[in-house]
Amino acid sequence: MARTHAVRAPRYDARGFVSDLNRIVRVERIDLLLPSCEEALHLSRHRAALPASLHVAVDAFDTLAALHSKWIFLGLARQHGMPVPDSGRVHTLEQAREWAQGRPVVLKPEFSRFGVHVRLYPHGIPADAAALAPLGAWVVQAYLDGDELCSYAIAHRGRLLAHAIYRPLHRLRRSSSYYFQPVQRPAITTAIADFVAGTHYSGQISFDWIEQDGHRARALECNPRATSGLHLFRNDVDLPGALLGDGSLHEPAQDRARMIAVLMATAGLQDALMRGQPGRWLRDWRQADDVIAVAGDRLAPAGSLLDLASYARLALQQGCNLREAATRDIEWDGEPLEALAG
């Protein structure tokens, strides 16, 4: 049985958010609470205000906060043997220039998501580059030209119990992907297994990688939450069991790509036509299955269009783009966040 409930925004009304969740858990007799995006951080922070009997699939807030920080994560990765690019923490463009010394770099806020505000300087920071926006600290990172990969995992008390790696073949302006091509990289799987074991991590955890010349992959950043790699698992795979610590390692058994068809048919097709690559778009379309459509249900794709329209409305109201509108009410960017008690 499936139902939909509205909850108040955790970023702006934490007490209302927790109150709504407690009501829904009680009425629907929910046993497992699984976050789908950055509300994971709010759920972790306010865990004590939710029923003790409820399994909330998040780790401790201090752990999630450290992984969510694009700077602190890099130190943790090195500590546990995960390769990462050379990086620095800065507050101004002048500091970034001094660190870069003319080298190609990437600049991104310490707390951000979906590639929003990321700057790529493959030829070094130009003389006319704009000052950094006042978004707190920024991370300056050596620019690595290579194959972009993403991974999604579930761990429980340091055991890796589900893992998928994919190539984000079609993306929204070098940020969020809507086409997920599965790949196998044993070295990445091993690196993640070692990382979650070393941190004794529980919950969902995702990483972005750069692989150069088919050799060593380096982790760029970590998202301690769900990402699109989840779509690569068949519906009969016991991922809820993995979240509870049951079973052995699950990996996708299929080679076919997955896609968000409504985005592939709109943004993807538009991008392909602009690049003069309609043939490639058609080939990729035929080699993927939609993650939204369900056999016998014609309303699911229509729901995707309604979601896009809703985000577009929010973007106009809030003066931001679609990517920002999609997460603005659940974000956490390192500001003080007082925990609510039960």
Q: What is the pLDDT of residues 248-276, one digit of tens each?
A: 899 998 789 999 998 899 889 999 999 99
Q: Is the per-residue pLDDT at 94 higher than 90?
A: yes
Predicted confidence at residue 264, as pLDDT, reads 93
Is residue 321 very low, low, confident or very high in pLDDT (cuts 50, 70, 90)? low
H helices, E strands: number in the chain: 12, 13
Predicted confidence at residue 155, as pLDDT, reads 97
Tokens of 138: 């920024």
Gap between the Cα atoms of 261 and 304, Å rounded: 9
Closest alpha carbon to 112 in 332, 339, 340, 295:
332
Q: What is the arithmetic mean of pLDDT over 294-318?
A: 69
Closest alpha carbon to 161 in 202, 131, 107:
202
Q: How would you classify the pairing of strands 55-56 and 32-33?
A: parallel
Predicted confidence at residue 111, as pLDDT, reads 93
Gap between the Cα atoms of 144 and 85, Å rounded: 8
**Residue position matching structure tokens 């780790």:** 59
Q: What is the arithmetic mean of pLDDT over 203-209?
A: 97
Strand partners, 162: 154, 250
Angle (nearest 5°) at CA 322 between 43 and 176? 75
Q: What is the arithmetic mean of pLDDT over 310-323?
A: 68
Tokens of 214: 């088919």
Percent of the chain scored above 70 by pLDDT? 91
Closest alpha carbon to 301 in 255, 264, 327:
264
